[in-house]
Amino acid sequence: MIKSYLKLAWKVLLRRKFFTFISLFGIAFTLVVLMLVTSLVDHVIGGHPPETRHARTVGIYYAEMRGEHWRRSQLAGYALLDKFARDLPNVEQMAIASMPASVYSYLNGQRVQSFLKRTDATFWQVLDFRFVEGAPFTAADVDGHRMVAVINESTRQRFFGGQPALGRTLEADGQRFTVVGVVPDVPILRVVPFSDIWVPVTTAKSDSYTREYVGGFMGIMLLEDPAKLAMTRDELWSRLRTAQVPEPGFESLDATPETLFDTIGRLFLGGQPGQVGYGRYLQIAFGVAAILFMLLPAVNLINLNTSRIMERASEIGVRKAFGASSRTLVGQFVIENLVLTLVGAAIGFVVSALALGAINGSGWIQYAELSLNYRIFGWGVVLAVVFSLLSGVYPAWRMSRLHPVQALKGSSR
């Protein structure tokens, strides 16, 4: 039975090629846009290597200093993290790392640009880098101000032609570093681990960073129990409340350990200090945007399906006249719509995969590794099925209840 339905559905779809094409185009296109956007978002906030302990990771990414007249908000400062965020309860380890800075090297008269991140030794324990060569720098290297560096494979390619780089030196931003390790490339949108060159934080040209409360650094924390984040947060807040702000004109310091997604939400929505959970709002905003975007394709699909069914009034009449029940007819249309939607989804899947591959290959986003998010894709397909069933099956069902004579005459009203 199902087989004959499938065959029938295929024939019907082929008969009205133009309509089929429009429906498929709409479904596939909508899914492609949905996939591209979600895979970009997932690329930024999802848990991909080297962030394998992503579910237990929070960070102090953002800090704010307020006074009566001024407010300064930026990435957290090294001094704030070092003085107040160490040994917080429920925190297994905390790493401090700078935002990658763009640096230049001169190689045979050519200028080469790379990103350079300054970190402590814990950074390599909190994040799970796979080492192609060598090993991370150690706490002794950091304490000893040693000019050592971990580089990524692209940097090894640029500086050493892909040859083994251990023990060789490279110059960046007027400083010379000895390579101690090589790791695979990390995509630029993964702001926590990303860089081309990682060096000990103590190799900075000046030690002024150790006195700054706001700016340039992030604290990456591995929690013992992510459910008890509030405990960690409250302790940090109570420490900050009693803190003396060294700069004149400023009275209070604010920083919150939270997920990167929460921080992004905070930046977008202009968050208030002492409040949490901005990621939730951002999620809602994304959801509303997605629904608004899908509104037009959905209306279009409904419109097409409705008029496609109307056209087949006489076919339904004939089937009824020969004794087909309403159930059989509805079943046939369900199968037909499912086939249409699934073919559209398959096309959407292939096109998304090709588009993501093209973006990855184009170098448009440095070292991008965009990938399909199957969960979101599944939801997109489910929505497409719901809309197409609603719009295709309901009119078919109404029509299947018409008297055969009326249906045969094609009066669908």
By CB under 8 A, name the binding residues for other proteins: 18-19, 21-22, 25-26, 29, 33, 69-70, 72, 74, 77, 101-104, 106, 109, 111, 173-174, 204-206, 208-209, 212, 214-216, 247, 249, 293, 295-297, 299-300, 302-304, 306-308, 310-311, 314, 409-410, 413
DSSP label at 76? B
State which residue, 31 or 229, has the beta carbon closest to other proteins: 31
State which residue, 27 or 126, has the beta carbon closest to other proteins: 27
State which residue, 89 or 249, has the beta carbon closest to other proteins: 249
Shortest distance (Å) from residue 76 CB to other proteins: 11
Alpha-carbon span 412 to 393, nearest angstrom:
15
CB 34 within 8 A of CB 286: no
State which residue, 24 or 192, has the beta carbon closest to other proteins: 24
Give me the helix-helix angle, 17-45 and 2-15, nearest 10°: 100
CB 204 within 8 A of CB 57: no
State which residue, 173 or 224, has the beta carbon closest to other proteins: 173
State which residue, 55 or 289, has the beta carbon closest to other proteins: 289
Nearest alpha-carbon partner for 81 in 207, 273, 267, 214:
214
Q: Which residues of 286-296 are buried (b: 16+ CB within 10 A; e: fewer)?
A: eeeebeeebee
Alpha-carbon span 413 to 396, nearest angstrom:
13
Q: Reply yes or no: is the peptide bond before residue 50 cis, omega within 30 of 0.
A: yes
388 is written with which tokens? 């197409």
Shortest distance (Å) from residue 33 CB to other proteins: 6
- Rg of the chain's alpha carbons, rounded to an integer? 29
State which residue, 90 or 98, has the beta carbon closest to other proteins: 98
Shortest distance (Å) from residue 316 CB to other proteins: 14
**Sign of the dihedral defined by the CA atoms of residues 147, 166, 116, 59, in that order:** negative
Shortest distance (Å) from residue 46 CB to other proteins: 21
Shortest distance (Å) from residue 168 CB to other proteins: 23
Alpha-carbon span 406 to 409, nearest angstrom:
5
Shortest distance (Å) from residue 68 CB to other proteins: 8
Shortest distance (Å) from residue 242 CB to other proteins: 23
Alpha-carbon 114 to chain mean position: 24
